[in-house]
Structure 1
Amino acid sequence: MIILCIDIGKTKTLAISLNEHGKVFGKFVAGPSGMWLKEEVIVKNVREAIEGCLRISNIQLNDVRLISISWADLDTPKDWENAWKVIEKVGIEKDKVLIEHDAVAAYYAITWGEPGVAVIGGTGSIAYGVNRYGERMRSSGWGWLIGDEGSAYWIAVRALNAVSRAHDGRGKETILSEMIMEYFGIKEELEILHKIYKELEGDPTEISKIAKIVDKAASLGDEVAVEILEEAGRELASAILCIVRKLNMANDRVIVGGLGGVFRSNIVRESFIKSIKENVSNAILRGPLIGDQAILGPVIIAFRRLGLTVSEKIVEAVLDGLGEKF
């Protein structure tokens, strides 16, 4: 049995092929296909990911039993309608495709379907949880202009704001000023305006890359950078904690964890864990899942749909096939 699993995000589109034993035959990475992008871009990148994966795996589309997709930015009925239009334009039979919001897939990647909550800390941020009664809830994920607290974009904007405040004398001095100017190849802080608003046109994906600079500055002991990352960890934990409270899970055995590149930061990770442990005594922490490990979400969803058992052996096989550690 051949299964194709796709993780569609704001940064990339990852496709892998595998069998019911978790053996991975191949993987392919294409450009981003989040639903907020233009349709032609989404169609191009989804098609490229699928065709590339099938080619590398030496598999025909007809051989695939199920295509399980985790898709970012499916927030409204219109988004779902557009997602299915993309599938149609790519030329795939709808009855062979299973689509889930990336927050739902993140939940499965962390909990394997047990009661719990997962939070994504990537370009954006969003949390999703399910309690023992099957009640569901999401938190955060309001996009870069409204929310996405704790995300890479949120961290980057906090850093840019800190640089502006330091320049004006309204905030603490920070090595972020020098490091961000070096990153952009400019000599004065005010030139950041041209870079952000003119050259990058406010592109969240590009601006989010500044988060790595913040982590580097923090590792050098910059207080402002450390404060930003610690707050990011607390914000990501907060997205989980509000779901735990509203779904009355505080006294239950609850699995929680994070996914996404923001969790590469030791400071974010430690702040996140500290906040969870202080507020949910029965929490079982898993992860974080970083890089290609998020593909576990659509894999586990596919296995459950097909009536296949998800075990540590299966998960380990998938991660080994991707060159990732369990």
Structure 2
Amino acid sequence: MIYLGVDGGGTKTAFVLINDTGEVLARHESATCYYLSVGIEAARNVVLNGISETCHRAGITPDDISFTFLGLPAYGEVSADIPRLDALPQPLLSAEHYRCHNDMICGWAASLGCRDGINVVSGTGSIAYGEHHGRSARCGGWGELFSDEGSAYWIGCQALNLFSRMSDGRLQKDLFYDLIHEKYPCSSDLDICDLVFNQWKGDRGKIASLAPIACEAAVAGDRQTRAIFFQAAKELALMVDTLRGLLEYGADESVRVSYTGGVFKCGDVILEAFAYELSRFNGNYHISLPEYHPSLGAAIYAAKLNGHPLSEQALAKLSFGGCNEQ
């Protein structure tokens, strides 16, 4: 059997084909399918072209795919749009051979191997999702305008605020201020407004790209940017602890927790803070490294939806083959 996983994100969409023995048959990566940003037709083109290209690389046709799971950004957040999102893979895939849902499931399935527990995502946006004894729940992920706390976009916005305060004297200038000038040379600090509002037009992906610069400053000892990551960790830990209650974990029951998304590539500056914030709650949390890349999670979930979950041997092979992709 052959399974296709599609992991849609705020800045890119990843496609991966696997078989039931744990072999990766083909991969493809393209632009975002975040339809609230690019529009439904652009999202459809990304999905259809991506399926076609991935199948071409594997030397198969879409009809050869046993089941597909498509994790789509913002799926389910506008009820009226669900039928249109569900139709995105047509006519390449027949309705009985695929399912669409929110991309948060890709991160959960990947990080925990479709086992009970909670996964928190901090990429361009942020969200947490978990499953426990047949129950499922999500927390966060209400969008960048008033939510997505702890995400790269949120960190980027906080970093821009920090730069403005450093510039006009409300805060002391530190390494982050210098790094922004190195990355975006300008004759006046106010030109940052032109960059963000006119050149970037407030694009969430471009604002999120400031998070690695903030991370660089934080790792190097800039205490004010470190404070941003500490607050991000606090927000992400709160999502996890809230889900613990929603999923009805017992008071003494251990909860497996994992994570996905580019913000966690900042390493200890976010991970140690995240672990510390979780420890402040009363829950018994066990944090583990993500087991698979999110796109593999989508394919693993496709096998589960098809009624033929991958064997431990197949999962082990996927883990070995995908270990360099985290």
Indicate whether the TM-score tops 0.5: yes
Contact 2:236/2:274 (8 A) holds in 1: yes
Contact persistence 1:172–1:224 (CA under 8 A): no
1:78 counterpart residue number: 80
How many residues are matched? 322
The correspondence of residues 90-169 of structure 1 with structure 2, limited to 5 A, is 91-132=92-133, 134-169=134-169
Aligned to 2:219: 219
Deviation of 1:225 after TM superposition, in Å, equals 1.3
Q: Provide Cα deviations, 1:259-287, integer angstroms capped at 9, x if missing partner.
A: 11110012111111222233255222222
Q: Which residue of 2 aligns with 1:278?
A: 280
Does residue 237 of the first structure (1) align with residue 270 of the second (2)?
no
Partner deviation per Cα, 1:205-228 (whole Å, 9 max, x = no partner): 111000010011112211111111
Structure 2: stretches of 5+ with no match in the other structure:
none
Residue matched to 1:287:
289
Number of the residue aligned with 1:45: 46
Find the residue that maps to 1:170 and give its secondary structure. Answer: coil
Q: Please, what is the CA RMSD of the aligned residues?
A: 2.0
> What SS does the aligned partner of 2:300 have?
helix
Q: Deviations over 1:273-320 (max 9, x none)?
A: 22223325522222246xx81123212211212233445532332244
1:247 & 1:15 partners in 2: Cα distance?
30
Kept in 2, the 8 Å contact 1:180–1:213? The answer is yes
Distance, in Å, in 2 between the alignment partners of 1:70 and 1:305 is 13
Matched letter for residue 84 of structure 2: N
State the SS of the aligned residue for 1:201: coil
* 1:104-134 per-position Cα deviation (integer Å, ceiling 9, x unaligned): 33222233343321111000001112233x3
Determine helix, strand or coil for the equivalent of 1:22: coil
1:279 counterpart SS class = coil
TM-superposed CA distance for 1:14, in Å, is: 0.8
- Counterparts of 1:151-190 in structure 2, within 5 Å, are 151-190=151-190
Q: 1:241 Cα deviation (Å)? A: 1.0
Structure 2 distance, partners of 1:202, 1:325, is 30
Structure number with greater CO (CA < 8 Å, separation at least 6) is: 2
User: Is residue 208 of structure 2 the alignment partner of residue 208 of structure 1?
Assistant: yes
| Preserved contact between residue 176 and residue 217 of structure 1 (Cα < 8 Å) | yes
Spell out, residue by residue over 1:149-172, the C-alpha distance to the aligned partner (whole angstroms, 9 max, x if none).
000000111110011111222223
3-state SS of 2:259 partner: strand
- Matched-pair contact (CA < 8 Å) for 1:263–1:288: no
Identity of aligned residues (%): 28
Separation of aligned partners in 2, 1:234 and 1:79: 32
Is the 2:110–2:290 contact (alpha carbons within 8 Å) kept by the matching residues of 1? no
**CA distance in 2: counterparts of 1:325 and 1:157, whole angstroms:** 28
1:26 Cα offset (Å):
1.0
1:87 aligned counterpart, secondary structure: coil
Moved more, 248-257 or 155-164: 248-257
In structure 2, give the amino acid aligned to 1:179.
Answer: L
Matched residue, 1:199: 199
Q: Deviations over 1:232-273 (max 9, x none)?
A: 122111111111134332432221111111100121111112
Native 8 Å contact 2:5 2:300 kept in 1: no
How far apart in 2 are the matches of 1:305 and 1:215? 38
Deviation at 1:56?
1.1
Please give the alpha-carbon distance, in whole angstroms, between the structure 1 residues aligned to 2:310 and 2:41: 36
Q: Provide the secondary structure at the position in 1 that maps to 2:308.
A: coil
- Structure 2 distance, partners of 1:312, 1:274, is 32
Q: Report the residue type matching 1:255 in the other structure.
A: R
Structure 1, unpaired ranges of 5+? none
Q: TM-score, normalised by structure 1?
A: 0.92
Matching residue's letter, 1:105: C
CA distance 1:298–1:45, change in 2 (3 Å): same
Rounded Cα–Cα distance in structure 2 between residues aligned with 1:316 and 1:95: 28
Contact 2:22 2:314 in 1 (8 A): yes
**Is the alpha carbon distance of 1:263 and 1:140 closer, same or farther for their aligned partners in structure 2, counting shifts above 3 Å?**
same
Q: Distance in 1 between matches of 2:63 and 2:114?
A: 29
Q: What corresponds to 1:27 in structure 2?
A: 27
CA contact (8 A) 1:130 1:137 kept: yes
Q: CA deviation at 1:19?
A: 0.6
Secondary structure at the counterpart of residue 118 of structure 1: strand
